[in-house]
Amino acid sequence: MFDSVRAAFFRLCAWSVLASFFAAPCAVAGGTPIRLVMVTSADSRIGPLTRPMIRKIYLGSAGMPSRPIYPLINQSNRLLHEMFLQKVLFMSKETYERHMRHSKFPVGTLLPVSYRSEARLLKHLNAHPDSISYVPDHVAAQWPAMRVVARL
């Protein structure tokens, strides 16, 4: 009897933790929810993008627009990077890295470059209008040289 009650209690606790993890939006230190946006240079001709389009761009899938779009990986914040991988690519960091090592990108397509510095990432985006990356919406709002092409 005691074992079944204890097992039920642990199952209830596990489901509660999982439910709170998936139901609650991710937040920064001040309790403000993080909302991801895809950005490019204000001078870019890249139009609005959907999640499936972004997923194809980051996975190097064929069938993209005639003008190539170069994805940049924002690793300035581990939580932000994990959110992007989960919400858009539906992959863990390890699965994405394994996919990238074994994927066959179309000829002339470069593998995504990672940036650990947000300032360097935004500088690259501004200098290369054919690039996109993800940042929190409050960061995009602070950089007038950036244009939002998708809200995630």
Q: What's the number of CA atoms in the CB half-sphere (13 Å) around residue 95?
A: 8
Phi first, then psi: what are they for 49, rounded to 5°? -120, 145
Which pLDDT score, from 0 to 100, does residue 3 have? 62
Of the candidates 124, 134, 112, 129, the one whose C-alpha atom is nearest the C-alpha of residue 60 is: 112
Q: What six digits make up the tokens of 73?
A: 């990986």
Q: What is the pLDDT of residues 58-114, one digit of tens each?
A: 887 755 556 788 899 999 999 999 999 999 999 998 998 888 877 766 555 567 889
Q: Token pair 């946006």 is at which residue?
A: 37
Q: What six digits make up the tokens of 78?
A: 């581990």
Which pLDDT score, from 0 to 100, does residue 150 have? 96
Mean local confidence (pLDDT), 44-60: 91
Which pLDDT score, from 0 to 100, does residue 123 have? 93
Q: Where is pLDDT greater, at 24 or 124?
A: 124
Q: Measure the CA–CA gap between 133 and 70, rounded to whole angstroms.
A: 9
Residues ≥6 apart with Cβ < 8 Å to 45: 67, 129
pLDDT at 152 exceeding the cut of 70: yes
Which pLDDT score, from 0 to 100, does residue 32 have? 72
pLDDT at 9 exceeding the cut of 80: no
pLDDT at 143 exceeding the cut of 60: yes
Mean confidence (pLDDT) of the chain:
80
Q: Measure the CA–CA gap between 112 and 116, rounded to whole angstroms.
A: 13
Which pLDDT score, from 0 to 100, does residue 21 have? 42
Mean local confidence (pLDDT), 38-58: 93
Which pLDDT score, from 0 to 100, does residue 67 have? 77
